[in-house]
Structure 1
Amino acid sequence: MYLIGLTGGIASGKSLVSARLAERGAVVIDADLLAREVVEPGTPALEAIAGQFGASVIDGEGRLDRAALGAIVFADPARLEILNGITHPAVRALTRERISAAEADDPNAIVVYDVPLLAETSVAHGYDLVVVVEAAVAERIRRMVEIRGMSRDDVERRLRSQASDDERRAIAHVVIDNTGTIEQTRAQVDALWETVAGSAAGKH
């Protein structure tokens, strides 16, 4: 197995890159999807979140109200840290399960773990390669406001809660620039895939 850690700030274009890697044959494990899975109704993590943040973060169907929770934690770094202390261990455990399952299914698999907060966590990892997706901050803000409909204040709070471009670059083996066109980004991913495929073959 060859394991890639894929990261980037909000609206940097990780989804575009991970989708292209999947098209080329990678097994993609999405940390955001796992993060949703670990807070489904009935999970220990959701119970802990309700205990810490109150009933206002649970909707009428017993599910996590992400907007209500986000309004609380992105305005208060201490409370964000509390939330991360609940969800991150649960996500890490599920991640280990999914990576092990992918390797068991195909020992030669190229597995991509798409994780937004790779640079923010101090947990040791075993990635063969760390790929960081970047886009200019002004372009990321435009995408979040115009495409996602977020308020500029909310965008800026979220940006402040994440690592800086320099911090992400410091852990990167490869940086993909997604400020340009989709075709330009895909070309960078395709070049990366050719390199990775050769390196992965060399491991076996």
Structure 2
Amino acid sequence: MKRHIPEKLVHCLFSSLVEQLIGKCADCPVPSGSCSACLLSPGKMFLVGLTGGIASGKSSVLQVFQQLGCAVIDVDVIARHVVQPGYPAHRRIVEAFGTEVLLENGDIDRKVLGDLIFNQPDRRQLLNSITHPEIRKEMMKETFKYFLRGYRYVILDIPLLFETKKLLKYMKHTVVVYCDRDTQLARLMKRNNLNREDAEARINSQLPLKDKARMANHVLDNSGEWGLTRRQVILLHAKLERSMEYLPLRLGFLTGLAGLASLLYLLTRYLLPSP
């Protein structure tokens, strides 16, 4: 007979293995400081959430971070990846919304799906319940790869970081690429060849940059010359590189692996039949 493993321990072990790289298990049911899996984890993973607005210059800022050798994860790319044919989220979306959301090649028709959930909170929540767990899993996989390669911190490009708030709890730092509204409007009109009315409509459909700036830990002002913005990025990178928040992660890595190995061994003993 296999012994029963307490549900709380299984839940916390799974959360720890996946999420403890960036801090305490997000949904750990055990009081803080009392959970073996949490205490044995390597420490906080240093995640930086970066966002902006349309025509604010976020893509250009990310290019500078990449040129500086930073690890960057595009959450939008992950979101498109997890709904490809053959992935669990793809199957569940078809089951929930029907084959009408499929293109001829089997891909999800994002426009049709978007129309189905537009102004439909229940349907939007259903879609989020399907995609968000898969996005988080892929995000953790990519983060773990960078962790093993010794990166000090990882930047996550999250367009709706403050709007959805789903990933905020994982971020140690948040960064907003800001520019004043007049500059944003002028850039958008020029870049997309839009008239003023259409450009304003697109800007108004998003959370104002000034509101995002108030919620962020760091603001990169891209209202002026690009050289000034680039200098801000370099200075922020240097500040994050010097951060002492990184040390517990590397110092505790081997200890954490040894601890988790011991915990897995104990669980195996529970699972094996009694002699």
**Fold shared by both chains (TM-score > 0.5):** yes
Does residue 7 in structure 1 map to residue 51 in structure 2?
A: yes
Alignment map for 1:95-114 (pairs within 5 Å):
95-106=139-150, 108-114=151-157
Mean Cα deviation higher: 97-106 or 55-64? 55-64
TM-score (normalised: structure 2): 0.61
By how many angstroms is 1:114 displaced? 1.1
* Equivalent position of 1:93 in the other structure: 137
Does residue 147 in structure 1 map to residue 191 in structure 2?
A: yes
TM-score (normalised: structure 1): 0.79
By how many angstroms is 1:110 displaced? 2.4
Q: Does the CA contact (< 8 Å) of 2:178 and 2:213 recur in 1?
A: no
| 2:142 partner amino acid | R
Deviations 1:103-158 (A, max 9, x none): 1121x432111111211234452433211112344554565565357897698478
* Equivalent position of 2:163 in the other structure: 120
- List, as ranges, runs of 4+ consecutive aligned residues in structure 1 with deviation greater than 4 Å: 137-146, 148-155
Distance 1:116-1:194 versus aligned 2 partners, 3 A rule = same
Structure having the higher strand fraction is 1
By how many angstroms is 1:174 displaced? 0.6
RMSD of aligned residue pairs (Cα, Å): 3.2
* Equivalent position of 2:239 in the other structure: 195
Deviations 1:172-202 (A, max 9, x none): 1111122334333222211211222222587
Distance 1:202-1:35 versus aligned 2 partners, 3 A rule = closer
Partner secondary structure for residue 125 of structure 1:
helix
Distance 1:51-1:150 versus aligned 2 partners, 3 A rule = farther
Distance 1:89-1:154 versus aligned 2 partners, 3 A rule = farther
Q: How many residues align?
A: 201
Q: Does the CA contact (< 8 Å) of 2:188 and 2:199 recur in 1?
A: no
Larger Rg: 2
Q: Does the CA contact (< 8 Å) of 2:179 and 2:221 recur in 1?
A: yes
Identity of aligned residues (%): 34
Higher normalized contact order (CA 8 Å, seq sep 6+, divided by chain length)? 1
